[in-house]
Amino acid sequence: MTHAIGGGLAENAEPDAAPAPQPSSAAAGGDQHPVWVAPMIFIAAWAVPGLGHALLRRWARAAGFFIAVGGLAIAGYMMRGEVFGPHTHESFGTLGFLADAAAGGFYFLAHAIETAGPDISRATGNYGTRFVAAAGLVNLIGAIDAVETALRRRQ
Amino acid sequence: MTIATIFAAIQFNHFSAMVLFAALISVALASLGTRPLAARIRYALWMLALFLIVGIGLAWLMYPLSR
């Protein structure tokens, strides 16, 4: 029994044998993006929740993050939660500002929606503070996921 | 009537705030999944149900402490 010189396993395999392994998704190319795109995707995803995924044509994920972040932020403002500014004189205030500002564009809507200012003397106001912070953290998760998707570390 | 006045007219209580928070967090976490859309929707609904069950259960467990 002879085989062609240089023939690979796939060429010598029987017709009913298992197919040759497919190349990995990263090597297959497709919509893999260069590394320099990652910061742009992150900034877009931060500025408008879901925009990072929308640029990658992950429409359902984009809609999910926009609804979640927008809903949390707007509900937090409606509950008159406290929105931290950049110039606080305590460490928890700084952490609060970082969490709130992570909501991107929705952070800058705070003064337009919460015209009466925060009211944390009631339980609802305290809830609102947590809603606004959660909006920022969820948006941060979404932005990181968009970068991971762009670099094909996630599908 | 501006949007701000409409928003100001909506009132939340403890339960509605908990349900809204659980629903939105469920949507966000289900969006992170890599499964098909229908499976992600089922996962979000399942997560929402668990959030509510655990939340109400913990509230009843803490109820004697509030008296």
Could you tell me the mean pLDDT of each successive run of 10 residues in chain A, 155 residues long? 40 41 42 81 95 93 95 92 87 91 91 84 89 96 94 73
- Cβ contact A102:A68 at 8 Å: no
Domain ranges of chain A: 37-150
Alpha helices in chain B (DSSP H): 3-9, 14-31, 37-62
pLDDT at res. A113:
85
Which pLDDT does position A14 carry in this prediction?
38
Residues of B in Cβ contact (< 8 Å) with A51:
none
Q: Check residue B1 and give its pLDDT.
A: 60
Nearest Cα to A100, choosing from A53, A140, A40?
A140
Positions in chain B whose pLDDT score sits under 70: 1-9
Q: What is the pLDDT of residues A110-130, one digit of tens each?
A: 888 888 888 888 888 899 999
Query: What are the domain boundaries of chain B?
Result: 14-66
* Spatial separation of the C-alpha atoms in residues A144 and A38, rounded to whole Å: 9
pTM here is 0.78
Task: Choose the closest CB to B32 out of A130, A131, A145.
Answer: A145
Residue of chain A with shortest Cα separation from B26:
A68
CA distance B17 to chain A (A): 7
* Spatial CB neighbours of A44, under 8 Å, sequence gap ≥ 6: A51, A52, A55, A146
Q: What is the pLDDT of residues A72-95, one digit of tens each?
A: 999 999 998 999 988 878 888 899
Choose the mutation target among B26, B31, B35, B48 for the interface with A, i.e. most A CBs under 10 Å.
B31
Chain B (8-67) residues lying within 8 Å, Cβ to Cβ, of chain A? 8, 10-14, 17, 20-21, 24-25, 27-28, 30-32, 34, 37, 40
Complex ipTM? 0.84
